Amino acid sequence: MRGRSQVPLMEQLPELMRERGLSTNRLAGMVGVSQSHLSRALRQADRKTIGGDLAARIAVALELPEDWFPETREVRLFERLRRDAVLRDRLYDELVDSHSP
Question: What is the distance between the alpha carbons of residues 100 and 84, in angstroms, rounded to a whole number?
Answer: 25
Q: Is residue 1 very low, low, confident or very high in pLDDT (cuts 50, 70, 90)?
A: very low
The verdict on pTM exceeding 0.85 is no
Query: 88 lies in a domain?
Result: yes
Q: What is the CATH number of the domain that holds 84?
A: 1.10.260.40
Yes or no: say if 67 and 56 are a contact pair by the CB < 8 Å rule: yes
Query: 1 lies in a domain?
Result: no
- For 28-52, the pLDDT digits (tens) are 999 999 999 888 888 877 777 788 8
